[in-house]
Amino acid sequence: MKQNKFSTFKFKTYIEEAINNLGFYEPTEIQQKMIPTILRGESAVGQSQTGTGKTHAYLLPILEMVDPELQEVQAVITAPTRELANQIYQEIIKITKYQTDQTIMSKCFIGGTDKQRTIEKLKKQPQIVVGTPGRIHDLMKEQALFLHTSRILVVDEADIMLDMGFLYEVDQIAGKMPQNLQMLVFSATIPEKLKPFLKKYMENPKYEHVQPTHISAQNIEHNLVPLRSREKIDLLFDMLISYNPYLAIVFTNTKSMADEVADNLLEKGLKVGRIHGDLSPRERTKMMKQIRNLEFQYIVATDLAARGIDIEGVSHVINYELPQDLDFYIHRAGRTARAGYSGIATTIYQPSDEDALNRLEKMGIVFSYKDLQKGEWVSIAERNKRKNRKKQVDEIEEKARNMMKKPRKVKPGYKKKINQQVEKMKKRERKLQKRK
């Protein structure tokens, strides 16, 4: 039997058993780089895209370091959304259930739950705290949760924390922890505005940036569909019907557009879920429960779902609008083709998207050109084929003109003769290129 490659980290027996049962065999690149650093007690910044295994890159070493005999908070893990916080907590449960003697106590604290009941249950402090910064900060202010004993703070999806305005609460939480705090920051991007926060709490942190081997998963098919003179919502409806997905997420850039698209699809008879920041905590909890129970085949969402929420079984992603920050194209597409499955990411485009599409191609995205005609998917010509052909003709003409020598004395009809000779040379050059 092959030896599990996680065994080199020499984790406790129950962690190794959990790793085997979870089907992990070989650490991902971010895990190989971060686990030894975290086990040495060093602060670190891990930059990697969604789906690279970063959650276990910090969970496994934290569980190794927590002392089950010490009944106090030893590690705090913050996440920007309650869904993500709950997912992290569930991963901890999956591992700690293999403990046979003393068990590590972990708790998840998120908004939308009864705060008073939570405070009553905190007479016994958990060893690992997971939650959203707002709720953790609230419980800290109420003097129900004591964080001064915690030696480790994890800031997961730090760039989303910044976007959602949670860095103040994270700052307040970190300020109550010991000076020799081990801070672990994970983020897909490191914006300039995040750097002052990192500098405040991290002195010479270990910085690990995992460049994706491929800009997006290899088993994602990236399609472009031209809008042409059609109504966008009608084209989207026809695409969804044609795809008949297991589960599709339609991405828009704003909450108002998400509502407009969802309402239009509902009017057309589709059962559609929606996820965006304007949903109340109760509505969002109900929506996520319905999605997990597979009550919807279609979800309309803003970029909150691209990073902050993990939805299983997404077979199709459709960009109703291209994101303004093109990094989010990668995160959107990354909602599909997870755990080794294949997926389709389709973008409805129009001429105004040309610059964004060029930049995505420079980032390494290879698009296929498709169109839906009379209910059938057909391959169509690339959007820039005509432009490339013209550029090639221009290059040949320039080369031909450069090869022509201008006579010392210019006679009448000179330009006409030159043009005739250029045409001959262009024909010869084209023949040569065809032979190549």
Q: Which residues are 254's β-sheet partners?
A: none
Is pLDDT above 80 for 215?
Answer: no
Is pLDDT above 90 for 235?
Answer: yes
Q: What is the pLDDT at residue 401?
A: 58
Q: In the numeric block, which tokens belong to residue 402?
A: 């450069």
Give the distance between the most distant pair of CA atoms in the chain.
Answer: 103
How far is it, in rounded angstroms, from Cα 177 to Cα 74? 10
Residues 132 and 111: beta-carbon distance below 8 Å: yes
Average pLDDT over every residue of 233-246: 95
| Cβ neighbourhood burial of 81 (10 Å; 0-12, 13-18, 19+) | buried
How far is it, in rounded angstroms, from Cα 22 to Cα 94? 8
Q: Does residue 152 or residue 399 have the better pLDDT?
A: 152
Is pLDDT above 60 for 406?
Answer: no
Average pLDDT, the chain: 86
Q: What is the pLDDT at residue 383?
A: 80
Nearest to 105 by CA among 132, 123, 119: 123
Per-residue pLDDT tens over the stretch 178-211: 988 999 999 887 878 888 888 888 888 888 888 6
Q: Does residue 206 or residue 225 have the better pLDDT?
A: 225
Banded model confidence at residue 420, pLDDT cuts 50, 70, 90: confident
> Which residue stretches of 153-275 are H helix?
158-163, 167-175, 195-201, 232-243, 255-267
Q: Does residue 83 or residue 346 have the better pLDDT?
A: 346
Q: Does residue 237 or residue 341 have the better pLDDT?
A: 237
Query: How many other β-carbons are positioned within 10 Å of the β-carbon of residue 99?
Result: 17
Per-residue pLDDT tens over the stretch 327-363: 788 888 888 876 667 789 999 999 999 999 998 988 8
Nearest to 60 by CA among 109, 27, 103: 27
Write the single-letter amino acid at 242.
S
> Tokens 């013209």 belong to which residue?
390
Range of lowest pLDDT (44-58, 256-270, 387-401): 387-401
Q: What is the pLDDT at residue 410?
A: 56
Query: How many other β-carbons are positioned within 10 Å of the β-carbon of residue 185?
Result: 27
Nearest to 371 by CA among 237, 239, 231: 239
How far is it, in rounded angstroms, from Cα 335 to Cα 328? 11
Q: What is the pLDDT at residue 240?
A: 96
Q: What is the pLDDT at residue 213?
A: 52
Q: What is the pLDDT at residue 165?
A: 83
Per-residue pLDDT tens over the stretch 271-316: 999 988 778 777 887 888 898 888 999 999 988 766 667 788 899 9
**All domains in the chain, ordered by first residue:** 5-209 (3.40.50.300), 220-379 (3.40.50.300), 385-435 (no CATH)
Q: What is the pLDDT at residue 426?
A: 67
Is pLDDT above 70 for 370?
Answer: yes
> Tokens 């890159």 belong to which residue?
57
Q: What is the pLDDT at residue 100?
A: 85
Per-residue pLDDT tens over the stretch 132-186: 999 999 999 999 999 999 999 999 988 888 877 888 999 999 999 998 899 999 9
Banded model confidence at residue 386, pLDDT cuts 50, 70, 90: very low
Classify the C-alpha dihedral 195-199-201-207 as positive or negative: positive
Q: What is the pLDDT at residue 395?
A: 57
Nearest to 339 by CA among 20, 28, 18, 115: 28
Query: How many other β-carbons are positioned within 10 Å of the β-carbon of residue 422?
Result: 17
Q: What is the pLDDT at residue 396?
A: 55
Banded model confidence at residue 415, pLDDT cuts 50, 70, 90: low
- Side-chain half-sphere of 76: how many Cα atoms within 13 Å? 34
**Can you give the pTM of this predicted structure?**
0.66
Q: Does residue 327 or residue 236 have the better pLDDT?
A: 236
Nearest to 47 by CA among 150, 155, 128: 155
Of all residues in the chain, the percent with pLDDT exceeding 70 is 85
Write the single-letter amino acid at 183.
M
Residues 178 and 151: beta-carbon distance below 8 Å: yes
> Tokens 């983020």 belong to which residue?
187
Q: What is the pLDDT at residue 390?
A: 45
Query: How many other β-carbons are positioned within 10 Å of the β-carbon of residue 213?
Result: 8
Q: Does residue 257 or residue 388 have the better pLDDT?
A: 257
Q: Which residues are 238's β-sheet partners?
A: none
Q: What is the pLDDT at residue 9?
A: 93
